[in-house]
């Protein structure tokens, strides 16, 4: 019995000794960076879809209002752009891309507004001579 107890003690000490020395390998820095990049890409993709959908909707419904406002007073067009609401994010890469997408949408809306307003100004009713 003493022999079994000694062997058991030796095995227990060996297990304790090796378990204390065992170092768990965590994910490498490259794996962590790859995970962060994939999360950022997914967030950018979803934001791109949402911004594109919102921009298309604004092109349909808000641009006519912007054109009417522009033709009355050009300074009133700026109230349609929400510049007070600046997008911030912990991930600076995502923040930079989303701000660029929002700026592109705003510039496209403004371009379309100016184009339609110019077209409306050129289409004044004219009298036909007999």
- The pLDDT assigned to 85 comes to 62
Burial of 2 (0-12, 13-18, 19+ CB in 10 A): exposed
Stated length of the chain = 130
Report H helices in the chain.
Answer: 2-21, 29-72, 92-122
pLDDT tens for 33-53 read 888 888 888 988 998 999 999
- The pLDDT assigned to 37 comes to 86
Q: Would you state the structure tokens that stand for residue 46, as one six-digit string?
A: 């979803």
Residues of the chain with pLDDT under 70: 1-4, 6, 16, 18-24, 81-89, 123-126, 128, 130
């Amino acid at each position: 019995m003493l022999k079994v107890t000694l062997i058991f003690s030796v095995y227990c000490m060996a297990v304790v000794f090796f378990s204390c020395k065992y170092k768990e390998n965590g994910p490498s820095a490259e794996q962590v960076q790859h995970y962060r990049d994939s999360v950022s890409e997914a967030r950018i993709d979803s934001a791109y879809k949402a911004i594109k959908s919102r921009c298309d909707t604004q092109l349909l419904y808000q641009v006519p209002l912007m054109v009417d406002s522009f033709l009355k007073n050009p300074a009133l067009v700026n109230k349609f752009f929400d510049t007070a609401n600046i997008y911030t994010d912990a991930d600076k890469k995502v923040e930079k891309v989303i701000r660029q997408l929002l700026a592109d949408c705003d510039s496209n809306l403004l371009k379309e507004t100016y184009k339609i307003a110019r077209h409306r100004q050129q289409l004044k009713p004219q009298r036909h001579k007999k």
